[in-house]
Structure 1
Amino acid sequence: MDKSQSQDTECPAEAMLTDGSSTKELPFMIMFIKYLLFALLVIFMVCAAAYSISSRRTADPLIQGTRRSIMNMLLGGMLVTLSLMSMFIFRGSTLNVVIEAAFLLLGLFNIFSGLRSFSYYSRMRSGS
């Protein structure tokens, strides 16, 4: 058996990965998603802190409630982003999956309750 035949039959999985298909771009896409999620996490954190500070400095309770509901939605987005980041970073042990699911559900609940309170305060501000 010559050298070229032994390379072809040694590992067919390597041949599938190096055949020029789009599987080479997969690690790049995963890294891109990780960095995108990290950037979203930082944006959500900074915006939530800004809305928290601005809601405490205003005197009008309707504006306060509106800003706190926006802050609640941003914190929910932060929890959802954190759970998605942990899905990409850690491998799926049972404890990790349970914690990721808890963060995801808690984040979705925060987004939902923030939307509800935002609609309540916006109706109160419009007077209807």
Structure 2
Amino acid sequence: MIQTLQWIFGLVVVVTSVLAVIFSFRSRRSRDPILRGLYGARMNMSIGTTLIFLALIQMVLFSGSTLRVIVGALFMVMGLFNLFAGMRNHSHFTKHRSSAR
């Protein structure tokens, strides 16, 4: 069971990290400011998901030393902040994109 969770969490971390890099490149290369914002928001959501799953790996899969719990809690807070900021920005730029058409 623990081995399965390690593989699943590790796979999610790798996939969301790759997505964050892809959206970062797309955001930096885009000339359209609305698309740049959408890709930046998706990048934030990917980074947030990565940090949340890194926190879960730290807190759930390893023994609970004080330092691990503190680092996991910091990753969780930063991940939640990035996730919600990305969701807010994505909805903002989606509204602008639909009104621009």
Question: TM-score scaled by structure 2?
Answer: 0.94
> Could you say which residue in structure 1 is the equivalent of 2:16?
44
Q: Distance in 1 between matches of 2:51 and 2:29?
A: 25
Considering Cα pairs closer than 8 Å and 6+ residues apart, tell me whether 1 or 2 has the greater RCO: 2
The count of corresponding residues between Structure 1 and Structure 2 is 100
Runs (4+) of structure 1 exceeding 4 A deviation are none
> Could you say which residue in structure 2 is the equivalent of 1:66?
38
What per-residue deviation string (whole Å, max 9, x for no partner) do you get for residues 36-88 of structure 1? 00000000011110111111111000000000000000000000010111123
> Could you say which residue in structure 2 is the equivalent of 1:33?
5
Q: Distance in 2 between matches of 1:48 and 1:125?
A: 21
> Could you say which residue in structure 1 is the equivalent of 2:56?
84
CA deviation after TM superposition for structure 1 residue 116, in Å:
0.3
Q: Over aligned residue pairs, what C-alpha RMSD do you find?
A: 1.2
Structure ID, larger Rg: 1
Q: Distance in 1 between matches of 2:31 and 2:7?
A: 38
Question: TM-score scaled by structure 1?
Answer: 0.75
